[in-house]
Amino acid sequence: MSVRTTWSWLFTLCLSAYVLTFLTERNLSHMWPVSLFYSSVVYLVGVLLALSVVLFMARATLLMWVTVLVLLTFSGKRRRILVDDGTRIATDVAISWWRL
């Protein structure tokens, strides 16, 4: 089982346990520590999922950048022009990341 599948199942399991606990117990005064635990677990899983999405986006961006540089190399560009284009591409990628 992959890491992504494991995190998806873990997130679904924690979220469903939290929802079931919340819906079955109407009097939450005695359930306060348990609901606090579940909400912190859901928050932690959400943060981990967000970080994994950012990591995936970084890998995909790097792969795209390398692919463009290789295609520019095969198209016959000289090294000096390729370095300038690579710098421009890296700047564009950094600006697009900053806007997110």
CB-side neighbour CA atoms (13 Å) of 15: 10
Per-residue pLDDT 10s for the chain (100 aa) are 677 778 778 878 877 777 777 666 655 556 556 667 777 787 888 888 888 888 888 888 888 888 888 888 888 878 888 788 878 887 887 787 777 6
d(CA 27, CA 46): 27
**What pLDDT, on the 0 to 100 scale, is given for residue 81?**
83
Residue type (1 letter), 70: V
- Please state the domain extents for the chain: 3-98
The structure's pTM equals: 0.48
Q: How far apart are CA 15 and CA 41, in angstroms?
A: 9
